[in-house]
Chain A
């Protein structure tokens, strides 16, 4: 056990930098997922059939393709096709666009979960369409989607590992693999990587639970 702690202190710098890279990767992808996810959800509840279908195609494509294959397309594929894309853009775009499909689905179901009566009541009270959406539907939808959005974020933290596995980004797992191959202390190196990821996912779980207690509606 003492050798395990030694491995941590000896390689604290590398592990910390990997942890930081993972955090930036997750943060960047989160922004992409939130923005694109909202846009796609807007398409899916748009009044036009064609826009809805377009949103549907996006969701079904990005949800059913393995993230690894998406990364290969985004990085190696586009480079071969002559698009100068760097590892970070490819990584954040792939993870973000992949997660956006899930975000869009959750947002859509959140909007549909607001009962029809709420909208009718708001309209009959003299709110116009925009106000109804902004003041009545969206606040309630927000509260139902907190917990699924949290699960998606946790899944995204776990999926960030795949980015480091496919393209040259030295995230936490990559750093610990480098340490493992240098010191031959595979178990210890992976143990600390696992601890790092558990810290992130458990922290996210606790934050989510707090947020749920404050806002969420349980249906």
Chain B
């Protein structure tokens, strides 16, 4: 306990620019999470529609794809994509990466990390979206069809606006998981916050003071706890607003630690 509360150990964090170094790393995590989320949403919607498609072979193949990626550990996917990605792809990314991104984000490693996170999260989000769409009353689709709308019109005007709104809280909680998962890219040597923590604490003597490992990681943990708490607040507020807007108790589609728990209506 003495170690934990020793003021010298805490002071170490604010000497030089240790804390700043960590915060910069944390910014990389947030950027990776945000970019991966946007790509996963787009790709996930395509997967969800594919799985719901009336073309049976397509639906089966997409279903298989989704189930395989969803059930693999993220760390395995990250390592695999990193090791298996052709070097030319990484170089293409390095050339094409927009210059406004920080330097870390322009490396080919980040491309591998993003690709892996998108592969995994798009599969999870596809299931959340599918659950959202399926939770709609059948009558919605049937009424739209009776009005003479085509498949795409039905999706665009009737089904998706309602189904996707229901899955908004679940998407935000998936973002929390994704945010936590971004620390895993430390394994392919991307300089994000966990890696920077290891770098800092790797120097055994830093100005004569042994780096306070415990404190460094507690601070990193706090960064995540604060951002994720804010996100879950947001998720709850969205849920309440939705309930007030529609005036009904919709059963929200919830994503819990990656797994879709929504009870799909019996068909």
Contact = CB atoms under 8 A, between A and B. Distances in A.
Is chain B found bound to chain A in the same assembly?
Answer: yes
Interface of A: 60-61, 63-70, 72-73, 76-78, 80-82, 102, 106, 147-148, 151-152, 154-155, 157-162, 165, 173, 177, 180, 186-187, 190, 193-194, 197-198, 201-202, 205, 218-219
B73 to A, nearest CB: 4
B10 interface: no
Given A60-B229, A102-B256, A158-B72, A68 B214 contact: no
Nearest to B216: A77
Given A69-B183, A152-B259, A155-B259, A82 B73 contact: no
A165 B184 contact: yes
B34 interface: no
B61 interface: no
B112 to A, nearest CB: 13
Contacts of B74: 158, 161
29 contacts: A61-B225, A64-B180, A65-B225, A66-B224, A68-B194, A69-B224, A72-B220, A73-B218, A80-B210, A81-B3, A81-B214, A102-B257, A147-B261, A148-B261, A151-B260, A151-B261, A154-B71, A155-B258, A158-B74, A160-B73, A165-B75, A173-B75, A173-B79, A177-B79, A180-B83, A190-B80, A197-B71, A198-B71, A202-B71
Contact of A148 (B186, B221, B256): B256
B259 A64 contact: no
A186 B84 CA distance: 7
Contact of A197 (B72, B201, B224): B72
Contacts of A66: 180-184, 194, 221, 224
Contacts of A152: 256-257, 259
A173 B76 contact: yes
Q: How many residues of B sit at the interface, in one of the four size bands?
A: 35 or more
Across chains A and B, which 7 residue pairs bring their CB atoms closest together, nearest first? A151-B259, A77-B214, A64-B228, A161-B73, A81-B3, A66-B180, A80-B213
Interface string B226-259: 0011001000000000000000000000001111
Interface string B12-53: 000000000000000000000000000000000000000000
B192 to A, nearest CB: 11
A77 B256 contact: no
Given A159-B73, A162-B75, A187-B84, A69 B176 contact: no
Given A81-B213, A151-B258, A162-B184, 9 more contacts: A63-B228, A66-B221, A77-B213, A80-B212, A148-B259, A151-B256, A173-B75, A173-B76, A197-B73
User: Which of B84, B198, B214, B224 is most buried by chain A, counting CB atoms within 10 A of its CB?
Assistant: B214
B87 interface: no
A69 to B, nearest CB: 5
Nearest to B230: A64
A72 B259 CA distance: 25
B217 interface: yes
Contacts of B71: 154, 158, 197-198, 201-202, 205
Interface string B174-215: 001000111110110000001001100100000000101110
Contacts of A157: 73
Interface of B: 3-4, 68, 71-76, 79-80, 83-84, 176, 180-184, 186-187, 194, 197-198, 201, 210, 212-214, 217-218, 220-221, 224-225, 228-229, 232, 256-261, 263, 266
Given A60-B229, A158-B72, A190-B76, A68 B83 contact: no
B184 to A, nearest CB: 6
Contacts of B75: 161-162, 165, 173
B177 to A, nearest CB: 9
Nearest to B213: A80
B251 to A, nearest CB: 8
Nearest to A158: B73
A71 B225 CA distance: 15
Contacts of B201: 76, 80
A58 to B, nearest CB: 12
Contacts of B225: 60-61, 64-65
Given A66-B224, A70-B221, A81-B4, A197 B180 contact: no
B253 to A, nearest CB: 13
A187 B79 CA distance: 11
B76 A218 contact: no
B214 A78 contact: yes
